[in-house]
Structure formats: C-alpha cells, structure tokens
C-alpha cells in the first residue's frame, strides 16, 4: 500500500530565479547592509574599542563572533586578506550581506532575477546543519588560534 504522505523530493535549484520587487524584509536588510558598509568605511580601527567582548574579558579567549568588526572594516576598505584573517566566517557574511543588498537595490530599479537560496526543508537539510555547526566551530578555532599568535 502506498504511503499517504509524500516524501520530500530533491530538486536542484538554478543559481538564479525569477522574482518581482523585493519584499519589505529584503529592503530593510538592504538598508542594514548599506548602513553596515557606510559604518565600516567610516569606522577607524585605530581608535578606542567601541565594545569590549564580555566573553573575552571573562576568559581571555575570543568568542565565536570576535573579529567581526575588523572583518567588516577591512572588507569595506578592499582589504580582503586582512578581513579573512580577522574572521573568515564574518568576512564571508559581510560579502553575502553586501552582495544581497546590491541585488536588492538592483531589483528595486528593475532587475527581475535574484539569487536562489538552498532549500533547507530538503533532504540536504541535515547535512547543511552539520556543515553550519562545523563552519562556526572551525571559524572559532581559527580566531582563537590567531589570537594566540598563530599564523594562518
């Protein structure tokens, strides 16, 4: 007897999908992306620290998100190597945020295609979750390693 509930079917998505004007969340995320880019361009890393990480203050070890500010600032100034060195994960996140913002702005002025996102309800979801956890852990290990004077 056939099961009543259909199993999820894995379908490869194209890199680009057709889309209309961006939704309100996409527009606001683009605004956040633009604001973060402007702030990263204006912010100077030579001045006093704007924020002291409580995790680092308590343990002496950087937290998983330490180095994010440096990554954003370096990338906004076109210093990709230094940005990746500060925090590889947040450097990639900054690139993703700004690329997404650029796509959204382009869609606002008429682009009818957008980047396809992976479907996390598919059979790949479990593997993607493990990969995300492993990526965060690897990034943390790298940041701790570098803070201890290690070379990349």
| Residues at the interface with other proteins (CB under 8 A) | 6, 8-14, 16-26, 28-29, 31-32, 35-36, 55, 58-59, 61, 63-64, 100, 103-104, 107, 112-117, 119-122, 125, 129, 132-133
Q: Indicate if the alpha-carbon torsion angle 21, 25, 28, 30 is positive or negative.
A: negative
Query: What does R_g of the chain's alpha carbons equal in angstroms?
Result: 19
Q: Which is nearer to other proteins, 56 or 80 (by Cβ)?
A: 56
**Which residue do the tokens 């995300």 mark?**
132
Q: Which is nearer to other proteins, 43 or 79 (by Cβ)?
A: 43
**Which residue do the tokens 């956040």 mark?**
32
The string over 28-51, giving b where at least 16 C-beta atoms fall within 10 Å of a residue's C-beta and e elsewhere, is ebbeebbebbeebeebeeeeeeee
Q: Which is nearer to other proteins, 56 or 81 (by Cβ)?
A: 56
Q: Which is nearer to other proteins, 39 or 81 (by Cβ)?
A: 39
Kindly state the smallest distance separating residue 61's Cβ from other proteins, in Å.
6
Report the run of H or E that residue 17 belongs to, with start and end: strand 16-18
Kindly state the smallest distance separating residue 12's Cβ from other proteins, in Å.
8
Kindly state the smallest distance separating residue 86's Cβ from other proteins, in Å.
18
């Amino acid at each position: 007897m056939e099961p009543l509930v259909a199993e999820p079917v894995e379908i490869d998505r194209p890199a680009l999908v057709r889309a209309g004007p961006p939704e309100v969340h996409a527009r606001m995320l683009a605004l956040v992306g633009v604001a973060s880019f402007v702030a990263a361009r204006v912010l100077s890393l030579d001045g006093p620290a704007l924020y002291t990480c409580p995790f680092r203050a308590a343990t002496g070890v950087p937290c998983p998100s330490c180095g994010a500010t440096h990554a954003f600032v370096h990338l906004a100034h076109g210093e990709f190597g230094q940005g990746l060195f500060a925090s590889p994960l947040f450097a990639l996140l900054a690139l993703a945020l700004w690329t997404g913002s650029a796509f959204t702005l382009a869609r606002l002025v008429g682009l009818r295609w957008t980047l396809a996102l992976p479907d996390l309800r598919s059979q790949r979801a479990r593997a993607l979750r493990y990969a995300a956890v492993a990526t965060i852990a690897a990034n943390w290990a790298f940041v701790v390693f570098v803070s201890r004077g290690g070379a990349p």
